[in-house]
Amino acid sequence: MDYDVLIIGAGPGGIFTAYELVHCSTRPLKTAVFELGNPLNRRKCPIDGKKVKSCIRCKTCSIMSGFGGAGAFSDGKYNITNDFGGSLHEHVGKTRALELMRYVDQINLKYGGEGTRLYSTANSAIKQMCLQHGLHLLDAQVRHLGTDINYIVLENLYNDLKDKVDFRFDTPVASVERVEEGYRITTGDGQSVTASTCVISVGRSGSKWMEGVCQDMGIPTKSNRVDIGVRVELPAKVFQHLTDELYESKIVYRTAKFEDLVRTFCMNPHGAVVSENTNGIVTVNGHSFEDPARHTDNTNFALLVSKHFSEPFKDSNGYGESIARLSNMLGGGVIVQRFGDLVRGRRSTPGRIADSFVTPTLAATPGDLSLVIPKRILDGIIEMIYALDKIAPGTANDDTLLYGVEVKFYNMEVDLDENLETQYPGLYVIGDGSGVTHSLSHASASGVHVARRILESFSNP
Ligand SMILES: Cc1cc2nc3c(=O)[nH]c(=O)nc-3n(C[C@H](O)[C@H](O)[C@H](O)COP(=O)(O)OP(=O)(O)OC[C@H]3O[C@@H](n4cnc5c(N)ncnc54)[C@H](O)[C@@H]3O)c2cc1C
């Protein structure tokens, strides 16, 4: 065998697997990480707001791929909770899942995150205010690293690991096969390496590839969920009483009309809206910097509705993709619309956006989201905006900006046991690519969990 452990993907899942293997092993394990993107210092999105204003669909998206994975330029919000961010606790148990997330938090602090704030919903009066208006605030602690500190933590982790682990960047893995006593992976340029243990951590961007691997190897999967919605952008002052105390508030609302659940997601005080490219489809997201010098006057967050499908429909991601494609077709990428224009049933125009009191932080195409988002979902979003207006007056102002579409693709869920191991001994699937996690903290924690299991199996073969 060429290596002891092969890791596919250098996102948080892959990085924390490598970290734990390096730091907690009694004998050095020969480990390699294969990553289709670039090292951190060569990850550059060409959008500069001047020459390149919107996504030009690079072959490898620097926002989604490379050392740090999809999280590298994220807001670095590490939520320590079992209430959202994934279902790791269903595999490892609630206490252990929280213990793993706290362990990851301590490593982040050690590698550059010290001094960053840990927010908590415990004992918050905001919870009561939400309940009085039919809104439900979920329990969580959140460590906000911010995009800048998150980058420094990743840089420090890389410097720590680079001489102890073989990193192969710009090297997509094409296939994984079982061989006697282990696994062989073959890269896009036809090179093969073998190891007794293989950890797949390919994130959301690797979801299609992961599906193929499961099909080829006969690993059972299930898939039935996609979240569709918009990113809301408004003056930071409107949400300041929430963001100052909680930073990120995960609020859920049940619509009166359809009894659908709409929820806030990924709140970025004083942040910026960004576009992201997943498998050639441009959707919207957001982030913010810890450094006050890089703050904007706006806060952004997503409002999402989960769509769960039942048999015979199986392609929930395909459904989300076709809605995103529609917005890409009409707007050439992300569409932006004033809330006032949406409720009046008219499109936003460049003139109306320019006259708005809220200055967009993303150069998106003014348009009409009602031509893109299914009525039931859009009605739910509008209802929730009015509900939020009761706890944060100003949310339903005409000038509140809505960017669409925001789609959270959920990978199909790979059939895994409590060790996140497939039916094949030594083949693990972790992070967002497993369908078990959907967040930085859960993905990182899943990496630590699997690394500990691997260390056990090497010491007690
Ligand atoms: C803009 C943005 C902001 C976000 N903000 C937050 C936040 O604040 N808090 C939060 O909890 N979550 C956030 N998320 C989500 C978070 O980034 C992910 O949940 C997390 O990165 C998942 O980690 P992962 O290791 O499972 O996968 P990823 O981070 O996606 O990493 C997977 C890696 O595998 C590589 N890969 C894929 N296929 C292959 C292949 N065939 N061969 C080799 N390599 C491959 C990819 O290039 C990628 O680098 C954000 C995401 C985005 C895009």
Percent of the residues in the chain that have a pLDDT greater than 70, as a whole number:
100
Region for 265 from its dihedrals, namely left if φ exceeds 0, alpha if ψ lies in -120 to 50, beta otherwise: beta
Phi, psi of 343 (to 5 degrees): -75, -20
**Residue 29's pLDDT is what?**
96
Burial of 234 (0-12, 13-18, 19+ CB in 10 A): buried
**Residue 257's pLDDT is what?**
86
On the question of pLDDT at 55 being above 80, the answer is no
pLDDT tens-digit series, residues 15-26: 999 999 999 998
pLDDT tens-digit series, residues 187-224: 999 999 999 999 999 998 898 899 999 999 999 998 77
pLDDT band at 40 (very low <50, low <70, confident <90, very high): very high
CB atoms within 10 A of CB 269: 22
pLDDT band at 263 (very low <50, low <70, confident <90, very high): very high
pLDDT tens-digit series, residues 317-367: 889 999 999 999 998 899 999 999 999 999 999 999 999 999 999 999 999
Q: Are 77 and 289 in contact (CB under 8 A)?
A: no
> Ligand 1 pocket: which of 16, 278, 432, 437 to mutate (most atoms <8 Å of CB)?
432
Cα-Cα-Cα-Cα dihedral sign, residues 161, 164, 170, 172:
negative
* String of DSSP letters for 289-334: -SSGGG--SEEEEEEEEEEE--TT---HHHHHHHHHHHHHHHHSS-
**Residue 439's pLDDT is what?**
94
Q: Are 221 and 205 in contact (CB under 8 A)?
A: no
- Alpha carbons 201 and 411: distance in angstroms, whole number: 12
On the question of pLDDT at 58 being above 90, the answer is no
| Pocket-forming residues, ligand 1, beta carbon under 6 Å | 8-14, 34-37, 65-66, 69-71, 74-77, 79, 85, 172-173, 201-206, 209, 266, 274, 276, 285, 287, 431-433, 438-441, 443
Tokens of 316: 């929930």
> Which residue bears the tokens 């932080």?
361
Region for 198 from its dihedrals, namely left if φ exceeds 0, alpha if ψ lies in -120 to 50, beta otherwise: beta
Phi, psi of 175 (to 5 degrees): -150, 160
**Residue 276's pLDDT is what?**
87
**Residue 286's pLDDT is what?**
93
CB atoms within 10 A of CB 240: 14
pLDDT tens-digit series, residues 232-249: 999 999 999 999 998 888
pLDDT band at 316 (very low <50, low <70, confident <90, very high): confident
On the question of pLDDT at 48 being above 80, the answer is no
On the question of pLDDT at 392 being above 80, the answer is yes
> Ligand 1 pocket: which of 59, 266, 334 to mutate (most atoms <8 Å of CB)?
266
On the question of pLDDT at 50 being above 80, the answer is no
Taking the centre of ligand 1 as the mean of its atom positions, its distance from the CA of residue 459, in whole angstroms, is: 31
Q: Span 106-114, mean pLDDT?
A: 98
Tokens of 414: 């790979």
Nearest residue CA, atom 2 of ligand 1? Answer: 74
**Residue 417's pLDDT is what?**
97
- Alpha carbons 421 and 16: distance in angstroms, whole number: 17
Tokens of 441: 């903290």
DSSP state, 270? T
> Which residue bears the tokens 């806030």?
264
Q: How many residues does the chain have?
A: 461
pLDDT tens-digit series, residues 434-451: 999 999 999 999 999 999
Angle at 146 between CA 109 and CA 294, to 5 degrees: 135
Q: Span 252-265, mean pLDDT?
A: 94
- Alpha carbons 437 and 410: distance in angstroms, whole number: 9
**Which residue in 398, 84, 388 sits closest to 239, CA to CA?**
388
Nearest residue CA, atom 20 of ligand 1? Answer: 440
Q: Span 98-112, mean pLDDT?
A: 98
Tokens of 241: 């009483």
Torsion angle, CA of 361/147/243/90, rounded to 10 degrees? 120
**Residue 52's pLDDT is what?**
82
pLDDT band at 405 (very low <50, low <70, confident <90, very high): very high
**Which residue in 86, 82, 110 sits closest to 96, CA to CA?**
82
CA 346 to chain CA centroid, Å, is 32
On the question of pLDDT at 225 being above 90, the answer is no
What does pLDDT average to over the chain? 94
Indicate the pTM of the whole model. Answer: 0.82
**Residue 174's pLDDT is what?**
98
**Residue 231's pLDDT is what?**
98
Q: Which residues pair with residue 183 across a beta bridge?
A: 178, 195
Taking the centre of ligand 1 as the mean of its atom positions, its distance from the CA of residue 64, in whole angstroms, is: 6
CB atoms within 10 A of CB 220: 12
Helix H or strand E encompassing 18: helix 12-24
> Which atom of ligand 1 has the smallest separation from the CA of 171?
43
Selected residue with higher pLDDT from 75 and 233? 233
- Alpha carbons 219 and 92: distance in angstroms, whole number: 20
**Which residue in 164, 161, 168 sits closest to 34, CA to CA?**
168
Nearest residue CA, atom 5 of ligand 1? Answer: 74
Q: Which of 72-76, 105-109, 412-416 has the lowest mean pLDDT?
A: 72-76
Taking the centre of ligand 1 as the mean of its atom positions, its distance from the CA of residue 70, in whole angstroms, is: 3
